[in-house]
Structure 1
């Protein structure tokens, strides 16, 4: 009886483990991503190794995507050269990797206008949120599908340059 209980308990635990999101973190052993290019007008993001496109993704942007981000709460996605500078495995949007916005000049400009430059700009997933709300729904971030952010999270290292074009 003890063996039977142990066996049933083990099967139950194995079943529960299979229900979890064991695929949230994947590994990548391909070419190094040397840069990310984002084209806001086309709503496309490219991961490159040198001049070779490794992956491309359709993206969602800030709720007001035209023009560069200047102030906290303006709903815009930044434009310019930044770097991937952090990761959040517990993101409210599944997984996320941080973009180094704002730079010192952007902070100084916002302050000169009596405002804050904002921050917390990420490439992130959706985690079931905001589906059906249109393509541009973030507060200034770059959104992709959850399965795509798994790839990006595995492929892109901290320090990778990201060029965000109008």
Structure 2
């Protein structure tokens, strides 16, 4: 492979966030099924899109502390959007909540933070990620870049997120 081709594969301009879909097309619920490695977008109770996902590198059980590699379980919200993410685009999940903080405090640990639904990593790291064949995040929910662009446009800030075991 020539250097120019290698650079073209690994370096990308910062993502330009897609426009939001019309309000009548937006999801009102993001449902993640850890065991099935699936993320569903729902509107009015009906699944409008499904995606195969990768999770934290140690996905069994609820996230207890920073660095445990687990993806949290429970009910949260999309509370922020990051168009300048290290992972193409990302939507932040409102973890940790009050219960998560209390659980971690009982363990004498930090609950961690910065749990996102995001695309693939930017830069050289994207060459070693075999998404979605392997769980590889530190606790986030990962999809492809094309999928996060679609999710970004269909999921408004404030949408409810339910993460099942």
Who is 1:146 aligned against?
145
Q: 1:157 to 1:24 in 2, by over 3 A?
A: closer
Which digits, 9 at most, give the CA deviation of each residue in 1:122-149, with x for residues without a partner?
0000045242274200000000000000
Alignment partner, residue 6 of structure 2: none
Runs of 4+ in structure 1 off by over 3 angstroms are 19-24
TM value normalised by structure 1: 0.82
Corresponding residue of 2:129: 131
Aligned CA distance change for structure 1 residues 66 and 88 (closer, same or farther; 3 Å): same
Identify the residue that residue 105 of structure 1 maps to in structure 2.
Answer: 99
Provide the C-alpha distance between the structure 1 equivalents of 2:150 and 2:130, rounded to a whole number of angstroms.
Answer: 23
* Structure 1 residue 90 corresponds to structure 2 residue 117: no
Q: Does the CA-based 8 Å contact 1:28-1:154 persist in structure 2?
A: yes
Structure 1: tracts of 5 or more residues without a match: 1-18
RMSD over aligned CA atoms reads 1.9
Cα distance change on mapping 1:158 and 1:24 into 2, 3 Å: closer
Deviation at 1:32, TM superposition (A): 2.5
Which structure 2 segments of 5+ residues have no match? 1-11
Deviations 1:93-135 (A, max 9, x none): 0000000001111111211211100010000000452422742
In structure 1, the residue matched to 2:115 is 121
Shift of 1:27: 4.1
Q: CA deviation at 1:24?
A: 4.6
- Report the TM-score when normalising by structure 2: 0.83
| CA radius of gyration, larger in | 1
Corresponding residue SS for 2:148? helix
Select which of 45, 52, 62 maps to 1:51: 45
Distance 1:147 1:89, change over 3 A: same
